[in-house]
Amino acid sequence: MAERRPFSVTRLPGFTAIAIITFALLYAPIATLVAFSFNGSESIAIWGGFSWRWYAIAWQNTAVQEATVRSLVIAASAAAIAGTVATLAALGTTRTRPFRGQTLIYVLVNQPLMVPEIVTAVALLIFFSGIKLATGYAGLGYLILAHSAFCVPFAYLPIRARLEGMDLSLETAACDLYADRFQTFRHVTLPLMAPGIVAGVMLAFIISLDDVVITEFVKSAGQDTLPTYMLGQLRRAVTPEVNAISTALLALTVLLLTVFFLLTRKRD
Amino acid sequence: MVPEPPPAGNGSSAAPGIAVEARNASKEFGQGEGAMRALDDVSVAIRKGEFFTLLGPSGCGKTTLLRLIAGFDTPTSGTILLNGRDITADPPNRRPVNTVFQSYALFPHLTVLQNIRFGLDMLGRKRAEADARAAEMLALVRLEGFAARRTAQLSGGQQQRVALARALAPAPEVLLLDEPLSALDLKLRKEMQRELKRLQRETGITFVFVTHDQEEALTMSDRIGVMRGGRILQIGGPREIYNQPANRFVADFIGETNFLAGEVEAVEGDLATIGLPCGSLTVPATGLGQGQKVTLAIRPEQVRIGEAEGLPAMITGNVYFGTDTHCHLELAGGAEIVARLQNAADDVAALDEGTSVRVSFAPGSVQVLQD
């Protein structure tokens, strides 16, 4: 409080009230969903006492088990591929002399953030159906490739930020101290960018785990992921089982995001 | 020792006793019309075991020259020789030359010990040997208890010492220092100046030191190269640079100097009589012709204020500096000069503004600069 700022949004009338209402609107639906995942009755609206019942049902549901495994396999594969691509792209756009078309590369890498998801979904559907017809292959590969593609920018941004924040004289110093290019990368660049890579991969993992639109279009029959399975369930009778699955997903996401936050937090 | 190919028999070997040499080195950044000439046909030979300073204002090319020696940049033309061997095309990791960076560039993910060992590890030294050498370096820079610390936990002065130890550990033939003291406060800087001199004496390694601080250059160097606009203007010992500056820029950049514009009235052997608006002075000088316009350079501490003989002047003000007082004078004809009076020795400082006095200069202290 050493300095009095000329303008502060916190002193506007109604600031506190608006803030409370905004947070309530954001979190009340999620809180409700979490609460009713512990509902003892069959309803998603009428409270019937606390119970783990729906978690047990979801746990034993083979469709849920399969969708979960599929989701994790796709997310892990897509995160690994996107992380590798994004690392190389980040090195290529920050550790080279500025080249003609660099901005274009930047736009291309980040394209999935700008193009409407439904457009990408339709395009992939048409593109992959041609390949399916030609090759006869109908496995998980299409979903993994599709997820990898739209996960790249999410992995790219934290890695690039990390590289840009790195003091270039560190690499010069390594070279001065008899490290060749590979040793410089192995002993200096890579360890210093590692937190960025981990953060990028985790973000890609979450984005993939959460995707509905592109998955819905690209998946073949019997390739439901957890989100598309839940969407399918909502079309029929809705039970708190969906709440239980959602809450589990939420817990996983919050956990990963917490780790992401801790990794990208600026150290003082 | 650093692996080194046998001396090349290409006849380019320098005179013995020369550690590193630049021959007609030029460096241009950019191309075509927008090209910037950072270094313009510079030749300099730095002797083995010497503390050599490149001194100049920012943008004079001193850091560029250092980077050419380190191998971070390659010259547009010219050659760099190390012990007579042409290393112009060698990458930095193949040159037995190490650098202390202005920002220190310590590896933040490594400990102090790992930082110091880095060069030794990259050279493939045996573990025990590298450990012993690193311990020796820690002792040399007086950081024995700090081996396991992270570099971020150290103060600026300690980081400086780690940077020095890291660069000295592989026993380079030449140590390059790029304004290493500029980030330290005055007191620590003075301490590190003495420390650097000690390290240089104890290791016997050739130091090439870059600075824009003329006092730092004078106190530490065996020889100084004064640079401006990509060229070296003068190379010499601190006394030579200070007492016999080659031109007006050097005289002005190193210390404080009074300049008086004049014209040669007469030349008689080794003596020349210079006409000034306020009178004339006879000073030792050679190579002058009658009627030539010259500038006289006189250091403020060489100006004597008296009553009997010299050029007529009037005191226009006194500025007190603690150890000494700067007495501002106006000579007849309007030229202004400054006299530095030591407060412990002189009581002239008490002279008031407006007092008429006579000004003379210590024998041999007047430099005649040809413009």
pLDDT at A5: 66
The answer to whether B99 contacts A173, with C-beta atoms less than 8 Å apart, is yes
Pair B248, B307 in one domain: no
Residue A9 belongs to some domain of the structure = no
In this prediction, residues B265-270 reach a mean pLDDT of 87
Domains contained in chain B, number:
2
Identify the H or E element spanning B351: none
Q: Which of B176, B273, B35 is nearest to A172 (CA)?
A: B176
B225 & B263 share domain: no
The domain that contains B223 carries what CATH number?
A: 3.40.50.300
In whole angstroms, what is the distance from residue A247 CA to residue B246 CA? 81
Q: Which residue has the tokens 């000494």?
A: B324
Across the interface, whether the CB atoms of A177 and B119 are under 8 A apart is answered yes
Q: What does the alpha-carbon distance between residue B161 and residue B166 come to, in Å, rounded to a whole number?
A: 8
Boundary (domain end) residue, out of B199, B222, B252: B252
Q: How far is residue A149's CA from residue A154's CA, in Å, rounded to a whole number?
A: 10
Q: What is the pLDDT of residue A236?
A: 80
Residue A8 resides in a domain: no
B221 part of a folded domain: yes
Whether residue B129 is contained in a domain is answered as: no
Q: How many domains does chain A have?
A: 1
> Looking at this protein, which amino acid is placed at residue A91?
L
Which residues, at least 6 apart from B169, have a Cβ–Cβ distance to it below 8 Å? B116, B117, B119, B120, B133, B134, B137
Taking any CB pair shorter than 8 Å as contact, residues of chain A touching chain B are: 167, 169-170, 172-180, 183, 187-188, 191-192
Residue A145 covered by a domain: yes
Sort residue B107 into left (φ over 0), alpha (ψ -120 to 50) or beta.
Answer: beta
Query: What is d(CA A152, CA B15) in angstroms, rounded to the nearest whole number?
Result: 59
Of the residues B230, B252, B274, which one is the last residue of a structural domain? B252
Q: Which of A176, A188, A267 is the mutation pick for testing B, counting most B CBs within 10 A? A: A176
pLDDT at B214: 92
B199, B225, B252 - which closes a domain:
B252
What is the sign, positive or negative, of the torsion defined by CA atoms of B10, B12, B16, B18?
A: negative
Residue B33 pLDDT class (50, 70, 90 cuts): confident
B83 lies in the same domain as B194: yes
CB contact under 8 A, A176 and B109: no
Which of B2, B99, B103 faces A176 most closely, judged by CB atoms?
B99
pLDDT at position A228 is: 93
Taking 80 as the threshold, does the pLDDT of residue B371 lie above it? no
Could you tell me which of A237, A246, A232, A234 has the C-alpha nearest to residue A37?
A: A246
**pLDDT value for A4:** 62
Put simply, the answer to whether B92 touches A172 (Cβ < 8 Å) is: yes
Contact A199, A264 (CB under 8 A): yes
Range of the domain at A213: 61-267
- Least confidently predicted of B74-88, B90-104, B119-133, B297-311: B297-311
User: Collapsing DSSP states into helix, strand and coil, what is residue A49?
Assistant: coil
Q: Which of B94, B101, B109 sits opposite A173 (nearest CB)?
A: B101
Residue A221 confidence (pLDDT):
85
* Residue B57 counted as domain residue: yes
A-chain residue closest to B97, CA distance: A176
Residues of chain B with pLDDT > 90: what percent? 59
**Residue A172: which CATH number?**
1.10.3720.10
How many A/B residue pairs have CB atoms within 8 Å?
A: 58
* pLDDT tens string B296-326: 999 999 998 887 788 889 999 888 888 888 8
Best of A170, A175, A177 to disrupt the B interface by mutation (most B CBs within 10 Å)? Answer: A177
* CB distance B300 to B339 below 8 Å: yes
Within a domain: A1: no
Pick the most confident of A54-63, B68-77, B266-275. B68-77
Nearest chain A residue to B106 by CA: give it. Answer: A170
Residue B288 lies in a domain: yes
pLDDT per residue, tens digit, chain A (268 aa), is 455 667 787 778 888 899 999 999 999 999 998 998 998 888 777 888 888 889 999 899 999 999 999 999 999 999 999 999 999 999 988 887 777 888 888 888 888 888 899 999 999 999 999 999 999 888 899 999 999 999 999 999 999 999 988 888 999 999 999 999 999 999 999 999 998 999 899 999 999 999 999 999 999 888 999 999 999 988 887 788 888 999 999 999 899 888 878 876 754 3
Domain that holds residue B210: 18-96+172-252
Report yes or no: B92 at the A interface, CB cutoff 8 Å. Answer: yes
Q: Which of B82-86, B179-183, B204-208, B210-214 has the lowest mean pLDDT?
A: B179-183
Digit-coded pLDDT (tens) for B113-122: 999 999 999 9
